[in-house]
């Protein structure tokens, strides 16, 4: 990766929040209190964040996205905005460890977050469990991991959910030392990691590394190697129309975690 070109691309197009995330990734300097209040100003009284489509509802998926943003700004579990997000997730978890969006969202939901839909609920459980574990909520994350294990077919590696749900389930299990189960779902991504878009590939790379999967793991190596070949001449990484600066930021985050910092 040409880091200088990637940074210039993000700086010339990114929002204030994107710039703040980039600044932390490069320097370790957190945003100011005023900036944080602005970035997370749409946090709802529940501690959750509004769904992208049905913005009157607090959403597990949207809240996990904000936790990912918080990680890229150096926030920890004691930061009030993060503590409220974590409490929201704890409040929404079912006794069996499952996570699912509120039934009231059904008329607005897509296949990715449809209430009562098993693939959607497995991906939400993997996502919420991953971030709960990363921010120190081990008991709740362990319950989520057990729910996911109940739906893993150890023979053929089938976990009936989407790509990102599979790698996040594996990353969650890895955090609890369940490396064998993690490897089962990682194996299902052997071909997909070469085909997925750059945004997904960069998130996979970052989240596996944050979970403690080693840099020499074959899936980490495959994601990093593929990203190294995908940079455009202007420094950007393409995923979807009009969000290249976000995708490029995700790639910078992932590859700097992989290489060990901005000076590598």
Which residue's structure tokens are 């460890």?
97
CB-based burial of residue 100 (10 Å sphere; 0-12 exposed, 13-18 middle, 19+ buried)? buried
- Rounded CA gap, 58 and 88, in Å? 9
- The half-sphere exposure of 209 on its side-chain side, counting CA atoms within 13 A, is 23
> What pLDDT is recorded for position 248?
96
Residues 129-142 pLDDT 10s: 999 999 999 999 99
- Rounded CA gap, 59 and 51, in Å? 5
pTM: 0.93
Beta bridge partners of 50: 58
Residue-wise pLDDT tens for the chain (264 aa)?
999 999 999 999 889 999 999 999 999 999 999 999 999 999 999 999 998 887 788 999 999 999 999 999 999 999 999 999 999 999 999 999 999 988 877 777 777 778 788 999 999 999 999 999 999 999 999 999 999 999 998 667 689 899 999 999 999 999 999 999 999 999 999 999 999 999 999 999 999 999 999 999 999 999 999 999 999 999 999 877 666 899 999 999 999 999 986 543
Could you tell me if 11 and 58 are in contact, meaning their C-beta atoms sit under 8 angstroms apart? no
43-48, long-range: CB within 8 Å, 24+ apart, which pairs? Answer: 43/81, 43/84, 43/85, 46/88, 46/91, 47/84, 47/85, 47/86, 47/87, 47/88, 47/91, 48/85, 48/88, 48/92
> What pLDDT is recorded for position 264?
37
Residues 2-34 pLDDT 10s: 999 999 999 998 899 999 999 999 999 999 999
Q: What is the 3-state secondary structure (H, E, C) of 23-88?
A: HHHHHCCCCCHHHHHHHCCCCCCCCCEECCCCCCCEEHHHHHHHHHHHHCCCCCCCCHHHHHHHHH
The token pair that represents 23 in the structure block: 């600044």
How many residues are recorded in the chain? Answer: 264
Could you give the 3-state DSSP secondary structure of residue 144? helix
Interior CA angle at 210 toward 83 and 141, to 5°?
50
Burial 177-207 (b: 16+ CB within 10 A, else e): ebeebbbbbbebbeeebeebebbbbbbbbbb
């Amino acid at each position: 990766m040409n880091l200088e070109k990637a940074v210039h691309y993000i700086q010339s197009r990114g929002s204030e929040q994107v710039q703040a995330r980039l600044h932390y990734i490069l320097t370790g300097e957190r945003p100011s209190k005023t900036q944080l209040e602005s970035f997370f100003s749409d946090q709802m009284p529940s501690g959750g964040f509004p769904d992208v489509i049905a913005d009157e509802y607090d959403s597990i998926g949207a809240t996990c996205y904000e936790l990912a943003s918080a990680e890229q700004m150096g926030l920890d579990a004691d930061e009030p905005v993060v503590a409220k997000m974590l409490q929201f997730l704890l409040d929404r978890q079912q006794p069996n460890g499952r996570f699912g969006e509120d039934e009231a969202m059904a008329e607005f939901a897509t296949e990715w977050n449809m209430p009562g839909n098993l693939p959607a609920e497995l991906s939400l459980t993997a996502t919420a469990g991953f971030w709960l574990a990363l921010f120190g909520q081990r008991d709740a994350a362990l319950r989520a991991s057990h729910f996911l294990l109940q739906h893993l077919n150890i023979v053929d590696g089938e976990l009936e959910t989407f790509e990102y749900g599979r790698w996040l389930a594996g990353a969650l299990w890895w955090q609890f030392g369940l490396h064998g189960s993690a490897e089962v779902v990682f194996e299902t991504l052997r071909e997909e990691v070469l085909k997925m878009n750059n945004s997904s590939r960069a998130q996979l790379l970052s989240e596996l590394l944050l979970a403690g999967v080693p840099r020499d793991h074959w899936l980490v190596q495959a994601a990093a190697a593929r990203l190294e070949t995908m940079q455009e001449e202007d420094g950007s990484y393409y995923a979807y129309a009009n969000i290249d600066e976000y995708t490029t930021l995700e790639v910078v985050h992932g590859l700097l975690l992989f290489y060990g910092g901005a000076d590598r």
